[in-house]
Protein backbone atom coordinates (compact mmCIF):
# COMPACT_ATOMS: atom_id res chain seq x y z
CA UNK A 1 0.00 0.00 0.00
CA UNK A 2 1.40 3.35 -1.02
CA UNK A 3 1.39 6.20 1.45
CA UNK A 4 -0.90 9.16 0.71
CA UNK A 5 0.44 12.65 1.26
CA UNK A 6 -1.56 15.07 3.36
CA UNK A 7 -2.60 18.30 1.67
CA UNK A 8 -1.72 21.81 2.89
CA UNK A 9 -2.53 25.29 1.60
CA UNK A 10 0.26 27.49 0.27
CA UNK A 11 0.17 30.75 -1.68
CA UNK A 12 2.43 31.97 -4.49
CA UNK A 13 2.36 35.72 -5.11
CA UNK A 14 -0.97 35.97 -3.31
CA UNK A 15 -2.71 33.12 -5.16
CA UNK A 16 -3.60 30.08 -3.06
CA UNK A 17 -2.70 26.58 -4.20
CA UNK A 18 -2.74 23.08 -2.76
CA UNK A 19 0.57 21.54 -1.73
CA UNK A 20 1.50 18.21 -0.22
CA UNK A 21 3.61 17.28 2.79
CA UNK A 22 7.19 16.50 1.82
CA UNK A 23 7.19 18.66 -1.30
CA UNK A 24 9.70 21.41 -1.81
CA UNK A 25 8.54 24.91 -2.69
CA UNK A 26 9.92 24.37 -6.21
CA UNK A 27 8.11 21.07 -6.74
CA UNK A 28 4.84 22.49 -5.45
CA UNK A 29 5.16 25.57 -7.66
CA UNK A 30 5.88 23.57 -10.81
CA UNK A 31 3.10 21.09 -10.17
CA UNK A 32 0.69 24.02 -9.93
CA UNK A 33 2.01 25.76 -13.04
CA UNK A 34 3.90 28.52 -11.21
CA UNK A 35 7.20 29.37 -12.91
CA UNK A 36 10.25 29.38 -10.63
CA UNK A 37 13.55 29.65 -12.55
CA UNK A 38 16.27 27.11 -11.71
CA UNK A 39 19.43 25.60 -13.19
CA UNK A 40 20.99 22.99 -10.93
CA UNK A 41 17.72 21.29 -9.87
CA UNK A 42 16.60 18.20 -11.76
CA UNK A 43 13.66 16.06 -10.69
CA UNK A 44 14.91 12.58 -9.80
CA UNK A 45 18.29 13.71 -8.48
CA UNK A 46 19.28 14.81 -4.99
CA UNK A 47 19.06 18.53 -4.19
CA UNK A 48 22.25 20.54 -4.67
CA UNK A 49 20.93 24.06 -4.12
CA UNK A 50 24.06 25.63 -5.57
CA UNK A 51 22.90 27.81 -8.46
CA UNK A 52 20.66 30.02 -6.29
CA UNK A 53 18.53 30.97 -9.30
CA UNK A 54 15.41 29.47 -7.67
CA UNK A 55 15.47 31.70 -4.59
CA UNK A 56 12.11 32.97 -3.32
CA UNK A 57 10.86 35.24 -0.55
CA UNK A 58 8.86 33.68 2.29
CA UNK A 59 6.67 35.76 4.60
CA UNK A 60 8.29 36.75 7.90
CA UNK A 61 11.72 35.59 6.72
CA UNK A 62 14.14 38.30 5.59
CA UNK A 63 16.42 35.77 3.88
CA UNK A 64 16.10 34.61 0.30
CA UNK A 65 15.45 30.87 0.40
CA UNK A 66 16.26 28.31 -2.32
CA UNK A 67 12.93 26.91 -3.46
CA UNK A 68 14.46 23.52 -4.30
CA UNK A 69 15.76 23.01 -0.74
CA UNK A 70 12.88 24.53 1.24
CA UNK A 71 9.91 22.36 2.18
CA UNK A 72 6.44 23.81 2.09
CA UNK A 73 4.46 24.30 5.29
CA UNK A 74 0.80 24.90 6.00
CA UNK A 75 -0.32 28.43 5.06
CA UNK A 76 3.13 29.35 3.76
CA UNK A 77 3.17 32.62 1.81
CA UNK A 78 5.75 32.57 -0.99
CA UNK A 79 6.74 35.39 -3.32
CA UNK A 80 8.25 34.27 -6.60
CA UNK A 81 8.35 37.49 -8.60
CA UNK A 82 9.52 40.69 -6.88
CA UNK A 83 11.99 43.45 -7.87
CA UNK A 84 14.46 42.10 -5.30
CA UNK A 85 14.29 38.57 -6.72
CA UNK A 86 14.57 39.77 -10.32
CA UNK A 87 17.69 41.80 -9.50
CA UNK A 88 19.24 38.92 -7.59
CA UNK A 89 18.68 36.36 -10.36
CA UNK A 90 20.04 38.68 -13.02
CA UNK A 91 23.17 39.30 -10.96
CA UNK A 92 23.75 35.55 -10.48
CA UNK A 93 23.37 34.93 -14.21
CA UNK A 94 25.75 37.77 -15.05
CA UNK A 95 28.34 36.25 -12.70
CA UNK A 96 27.94 32.83 -14.33
CA UNK A 97 28.55 34.35 -17.77
CA UNK A 98 31.47 36.45 -16.50
CA UNK A 99 33.36 33.63 -14.78
CA UNK A 100 33.27 31.25 -17.76
CA UNK A 101 33.76 31.46 -21.50
CA UNK A 102 30.17 31.37 -22.73
CA UNK A 103 30.37 32.45 -26.36
CA UNK A 104 26.92 31.38 -27.53
CA UNK A 105 27.57 32.04 -31.22
CA UNK A 106 30.11 29.20 -31.40
CA UNK A 107 28.56 26.79 -28.88
CA UNK A 108 27.24 23.33 -29.80
CA UNK A 109 24.18 24.01 -27.61
CA UNK A 110 23.37 27.45 -29.02
CA UNK A 111 19.58 27.76 -29.10
CA UNK A 112 19.16 24.66 -26.92
CA UNK A 113 20.93 25.85 -23.77
CA UNK A 114 19.24 26.20 -20.37
CA UNK A 115 21.64 28.94 -19.28
CA UNK A 116 20.82 30.89 -22.43
CA UNK A 117 17.09 30.34 -21.90
CA UNK A 118 17.38 31.42 -18.26
CA UNK A 119 19.07 34.67 -19.28
CA UNK A 120 16.16 35.42 -21.61
CA UNK A 121 13.57 34.46 -18.98
CA UNK A 122 15.17 36.64 -16.31
CA UNK A 123 15.80 39.60 -18.63
CA UNK A 124 19.61 39.43 -18.51
CA UNK A 125 20.81 41.11 -21.72
CA UNK A 126 24.26 42.34 -20.68
CA UNK A 127 27.01 41.64 -18.13
CA UNK A 128 28.14 44.37 -15.75
CA UNK A 129 31.13 42.45 -14.36
CA UNK A 130 34.61 41.96 -15.76
CA UNK A 131 34.99 38.73 -17.73
CA UNK A 132 37.46 36.39 -16.06
CA UNK A 133 38.34 34.61 -19.34
CA UNK A 134 39.94 31.59 -17.63
CA UNK A 135 42.30 29.28 -19.53
CA UNK A 136 40.53 25.92 -19.41
CA UNK A 137 41.68 23.04 -21.57
CA UNK A 138 39.04 21.05 -23.45
CA UNK A 139 39.05 17.30 -22.77
CA UNK A 140 38.41 15.46 -26.04
CA UNK A 141 40.11 12.25 -24.92
CA UNK A 142 36.88 10.23 -24.78
CA UNK A 143 36.00 8.42 -28.05
CA UNK A 144 32.32 9.37 -27.82
CA UNK A 145 32.02 12.59 -25.78
CA UNK A 146 33.72 15.96 -25.29
CA UNK A 147 34.04 17.98 -22.09
CA UNK A 148 34.46 21.75 -22.42
CA UNK A 149 35.05 23.21 -18.92
CA UNK A 150 34.79 26.73 -20.36
CA UNK A 151 30.99 26.32 -20.51
CA UNK A 152 30.58 24.47 -17.20
CA UNK A 153 28.55 26.23 -14.47
CA UNK A 154 29.26 23.61 -11.76
CA UNK A 155 25.60 22.66 -11.42
CA UNK A 156 26.77 19.10 -10.48
CA UNK A 157 23.96 17.47 -12.46
CA UNK A 158 26.51 15.20 -14.14
CA UNK A 159 28.09 14.34 -10.78
CA UNK A 160 24.76 13.42 -9.23
CA UNK A 161 23.33 11.49 -12.17
CA UNK A 162 26.53 9.45 -12.57
CA UNK A 163 26.54 8.62 -8.86
CA UNK A 164 22.84 8.26 -8.09
CA UNK A 165 21.37 6.85 -11.31
CA UNK A 166 24.25 5.11 -13.11
CA UNK A 167 26.20 4.20 -9.95
CA UNK A 168 29.61 4.86 -11.49
CA UNK A 169 30.61 8.19 -9.85
CA UNK A 170 33.04 9.14 -12.61
CA UNK A 171 32.59 12.88 -12.05
CA UNK A 172 33.30 15.10 -9.07
CA UNK A 173 34.34 18.68 -8.29
CA UNK A 174 38.00 19.21 -7.56
CA UNK A 175 39.90 22.15 -6.07
CA UNK A 176 38.37 25.31 -4.54
CA UNK A 177 37.30 28.84 -5.30
CA UNK A 178 38.04 30.07 -8.80
CA UNK A 179 40.12 26.92 -9.39
CA UNK A 180 37.14 24.60 -8.81
CA UNK A 181 36.27 22.48 -11.82
CA UNK A 182 34.89 19.08 -12.78
CA UNK A 183 37.31 16.17 -12.64
CA UNK A 184 37.08 12.53 -13.67
CA UNK A 185 38.66 9.84 -11.50
CA UNK A 186 41.04 11.97 -9.45
CA UNK A 187 41.71 14.37 -12.34
CA UNK A 188 42.46 11.85 -15.10
CA UNK A 189 41.51 12.60 -18.71
CA UNK A 190 37.96 11.40 -19.35
CA UNK A 191 39.15 8.95 -22.00
CA UNK A 192 41.34 7.19 -19.42
CA UNK A 193 38.48 6.64 -16.98
CA UNK A 194 38.03 2.96 -16.11
CA UNK A 195 34.68 3.47 -14.39
CA UNK A 196 32.91 5.36 -17.21
CA UNK A 197 30.21 3.15 -18.72
CA UNK A 198 29.66 5.34 -21.82
CA UNK A 199 25.97 5.60 -20.83
CA UNK A 200 25.70 9.29 -21.78
CA UNK A 201 23.53 10.27 -18.81
CA UNK A 202 25.92 13.06 -17.84
CA UNK A 203 25.69 14.46 -21.38
CA UNK A 204 21.89 14.18 -21.34
CA UNK A 205 21.48 16.30 -18.19
CA UNK A 206 24.08 19.02 -18.89
CA UNK A 207 22.27 22.40 -19.07
CA UNK A 208 24.92 24.03 -21.27
CA UNK A 209 27.34 23.01 -24.03
CA UNK A 210 29.92 21.76 -21.54
CA UNK A 211 29.22 18.06 -22.16
CA UNK A 212 28.46 17.06 -25.73
CA UNK A 213 28.71 14.25 -28.25
CA UNK A 214 31.90 14.13 -30.29
CA UNK A 215 31.52 15.77 -33.70
CA UNK A 216 28.52 17.98 -32.95
CA UNK A 217 28.67 21.34 -34.71
CA UNK A 218 27.32 24.74 -33.60
CA UNK A 219 23.72 24.45 -32.44
CA UNK A 220 23.52 20.70 -33.08
CA UNK A 221 23.69 19.42 -29.51
CA UNK A 222 20.39 18.55 -27.83
CA UNK A 223 20.24 17.36 -24.22
CA UNK A 224 17.51 15.21 -22.68
CA UNK A 225 17.26 15.86 -18.91
CA UNK A 226 13.69 14.49 -18.90
CA UNK A 227 15.16 11.03 -19.53
CA UNK A 228 16.57 11.02 -16.00
CA UNK A 229 13.19 12.05 -14.63
CA UNK A 230 11.61 9.05 -16.32
CA UNK A 231 14.25 6.68 -14.95
CA UNK A 232 13.94 8.04 -11.42
CA UNK A 233 10.13 7.91 -11.47
CA UNK A 234 10.21 4.32 -12.72
CA UNK A 235 12.55 3.32 -9.90
CA UNK A 236 10.54 5.00 -7.17
CA UNK A 237 7.07 4.27 -8.49
CA UNK A 238 4.68 3.50 -5.67
CA UNK A 239 6.48 5.47 -2.96
CA UNK A 240 3.96 8.34 -2.75
CA UNK A 241 0.37 8.99 -3.72
CA UNK A 242 -1.37 12.31 -4.11
CA UNK A 243 -5.01 12.39 -2.92
CA UNK A 244 -7.28 11.04 -5.65
CA UNK A 245 -4.64 8.87 -7.35
CA UNK A 246 -5.25 5.14 -7.81
CA UNK A 247 -3.95 2.76 -5.17
> Mean pLDDT per 10-residue run, the chain (247 residues)?
77 96 94 96 93 96 95 96 97 96 94 96 94 93 97 96 94 92 94 96 96 94 88 66 54
- In 10 A of CB 149, how many CB atoms? 17
**What is the location of CATH 3.30.70.20 in the chain?**
86-231
Is 69 exposed, middle or buried, given 0-12, 13-18 or 19+ CB atoms closer than 10 A? Answer: middle
Which spans in the chain are helix H? Answer: 25-31, 83-99, 114-121, 157-161, 201-205, 226-236
Q: Please give the Cα distance from 48 to 52 (Å, whole number).
A: 10
- Closest listed residue to residue 203, CA positions, set 190, 192, 194: 190
Asked if 116 contacts 105 with a C-beta cutoff of 8 angstroms, the reply is no
Asked if 12 contacts 29 with a C-beta cutoff of 8 angstroms, the reply is yes
Q: Which CATH number fits domain 86-231: 3.40.50.2000, 3.30.540.10, 3.40.50.150, 3.30.70.20?
A: 3.30.70.20
pLDDT of residue 190: 97
- ∠129-138-111 over CA atoms, to 5°? 60
Q: Please give the Cα distance from 72 to 88 (Å, whole number).
A: 22
Q: Topology of domain 9-81, per CATH?
A: Ubiquitin-like (UB roll) (3.10.20)
Q: What is the DSSP string of 46-93?
A: -----S-TTEEEETTEEEEEEGGG-B--TTEEEE---HHHHHHHHHHH
Q: Please give the Cα distance from 8 to 97 (Å, whole number).
A: 39
**What is the location of CATH 3.10.20.740 in the chain?**
9-81
Element of type H or E holding 9: strand 7-12
Q: What is the pTM assigned to this prediction?
A: 0.90
Phi first, then psi, for residue 138 (nearest 5°) are: -70, 135
- In 10 A of CB 241, how many CB atoms? 15
Amino acid sequence: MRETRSAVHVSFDGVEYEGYAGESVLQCARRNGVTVPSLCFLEGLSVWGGCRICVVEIAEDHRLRPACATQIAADMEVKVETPRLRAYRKAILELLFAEGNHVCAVCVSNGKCELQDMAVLCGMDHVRYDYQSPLREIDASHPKYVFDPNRCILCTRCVRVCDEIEGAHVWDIGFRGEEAHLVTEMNKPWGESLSCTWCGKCVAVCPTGSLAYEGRAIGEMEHDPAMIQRLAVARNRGEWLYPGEEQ
